[in-house]
Amino acid sequence: MAEQFKTPMLDELEKGPWPSFISGFKRLRDDHPDKRINETANSLLGQLEHSYETRKGYWKGGTVSVFGYGSGIIPRFSEVADTFVASKEFHTVRVQPPAGNHYTTDMLRTLCDSWEKYGSGLITFHGQTGNIMFIGVDTENTQKFFDEINEYGWDLGGAGPCVRTGMSCMGAARCEMSCADEQQIHLRLMNNFTDDVHRPALPYKFKFKVSGCGNDCQNAIERSDMAILGTWRDDMKVNQTEVKNYINKKSRQYVIDNVTTRCPTNALTLNDDDTLTVDNKNCVRCMHCLNVMNKALSPGDDKGVTICIGGKRTLKIGDLMGTVVIPFKKLETEEDYESLVEFAEDIIDFWAENGLEHERTGEMIERIGIANFLDAIGVEVDPNMINHPRQSSYVRLDEWDAEAQKWFERKKAA
Ligand code: SF4
Ligand code: SF4
């Protein structure tokens, strides 16, 4: 290997009890059997140290893609390539993970082998968008790496103004709280929008995330433009024997302090005979009591999903949580799934036509108003549509009686 760059500032990041990404880079530099990877890691460490010394970043963008795709590769060219030659091109390849992040060891090993053949050996599982991030490949090998992994079934994720890589929790496959088939929802949506993932033609990014229950392990409500969250609408299931077992183990006071008094809507009553009563009409499905007493309490049988639109992180008008647009939707039959995909199409079509450049769906809704947005996507106003439980129904109160009357009539007709 050429001269090893000194890294006194980076070495500081290896101190302390935490795993250090610098130690990972050094392992690639010192221990990997492939000389090309050793040199790339050395060069990368050298450039990073230089950045820390001068307090400047030296990566610039450009255009790198693979045939037939407009997105999926994040180009990185070094501005100090003369000194740090081996990492002068250090592009990132975004690859879509399987729904629910269900991998086999064999899959992971095969992916790693391909990456070590063409790239730097550095991988992030997973980036903030949900992709597997293969970090560090030159322009020539980008196509070769993609061709190889595509051959055995992997596809690029989104980057730029397009539908982004979807995410779903492991859900029904392994989690007792699941109220939906997360993988099915994920697969149907992403398969339908494949073209919009690969060819950026939208005002900005659009993300789908699917969580099987209100615990929202995917952070869908605050991180995705269309969040699909599992829920139930009948009564929560209560196993009174397990309630008693729990009380015997933890005490009545513990249940009062940690379960009943922490219910946000006071929907739980611990009775004198050590049984638990749930006021299901007032339960907002926050999941707290089910998480604490997970043997005693479980979701009901009438399961479906809630759909929230417009969540996003910072930029411009700041963080937005998704707004409930469909309070409850059954997802059982082929038609149910088709209508979910059509609903997503309606939203994306409307936003593509009406969103300003670099404007997320949530920002567009803020600008044009929720009433106009609902009208455009053909959804009737419903008092169950809320921003915060029990606080801010966005049905205007000055027309409340009329709206409530319409809602009751729809309910009667249904
Ligand atoms: Fe389980 Fe709910 Fe988390 Fe999905 S979101 S993994 S169903 S707890
Ligand atoms: Fe209360 Fe939440 Fe339990 Fe419902 S799920 S009863 S709102 S703690």
Cα of 217 vs centre of ligand 1, distance in Å, is 6
Question: How far apart are the CA of 379 and the centre of ligand 2, in A?
Answer: 28
Query: Across residues 231-256, what is the average pLDDT?
Result: 97
User: What gap in Å lies between CA 220 and CA 215, rounded to an integer?
Assistant: 10
Please give the pLDDT value at position 397: 60
CA distance 414 to 411: 5
pLDDT tens-digit readout, 161-178: 999 999 999 999 899 999
Q: At what angle do helices 370-377 and 361-368 cross, to 10 degrees?
A: 110
- CA distances 389 to 218, 287, 289, 397, Å, are 20, 13, 17, 16
- Per-residue pLDDT tens digits for 141-164: 999 999 999 999 999 998 889 999
- Using CB distances shorter than 6 Å, the residues near ligand 1 are 169-171, 175, 177-178, 211-213, 215-217
Residue with the nearest Cα to atom 8 of ligand 2? 263
Residue nearest ligand 2's atom 2 by CA:
286
Closest atom of ligand 2 to 268 CA is: 6
Average pLDDT value over all residues in the chain: 92
Q: Which of 102, 167, 169 to mutate to test the pocket of ligand 1 (most atoms within 8 A of CB)?
A: 169
CATH 3.40.50.450 fits 59-151, yes or no: no
d(CA 172, CA 100): 9
For ligand 2, atom 1, the nearest C-alpha belongs to 263
How much is the average pLDDT of 166-195?
A: 95
Q: Which residues lie below 8 Å from residue 334, measured CB to CB, with a gap of 6+?
A: none
Domain locations along the chain: 8-54, 59-151, 167-232+304-379, 237-298
Six-digit token string for 366: 């803020």
Q: Which residues contact 208 (CB under 8 A, 6 or more apart)?
A: 163, 164, 166, 167, 186, 189, 190, 193, 224, 225, 226, 228, 344
Residue minimizing CA distance to atom 3 of ligand 1: 217
Nearest to 281 by CA among 214, 239, 234: 234
Q: pTM for this one? A: 0.89
User: Tell me, which fold does domain 167-232+304-379 have in CATH?
Assistant: Sulfite Reductase Hemoprotein; domain 1 (3.30.413)
Identify the weakest region by mean pLDDT among 50-59, 124-133, 287-296. 124-133
For the chain, what percent of residues have pLDDT higher than 90? 79
Residues 336-357: tens digit of each pLDDT? 999 999 999 999 999 999 999 9
| Domain spanning 237-298: CATH 3.30.70.20 | yes
Q: Which residue has the higher pLDDT, 129 or 1?
A: 129
Listed residue (255, 250, 365) closest to 310, CA to CA: 365
For ligand 2, atom 3, the nearest C-alpha belongs to: 289
Ligand 2 first shell, C-beta below 6 A: 263-265, 267-268, 278, 283-290
Question: Is pLDDT larger for residue 13 or for residue 393?
Answer: 13
Using the atom order of ligand 1, give the atom closest to the CA of residue 177.
Answer: 7
How buried is residue 104: exposed, middle or buried, by Cβ count under 10 Å (0-12/13-18/19+)? exposed
Per-residue pLDDT at 312: 86
Can 167-232+304-379 and 237-298 be said to share one CATH topology?
no
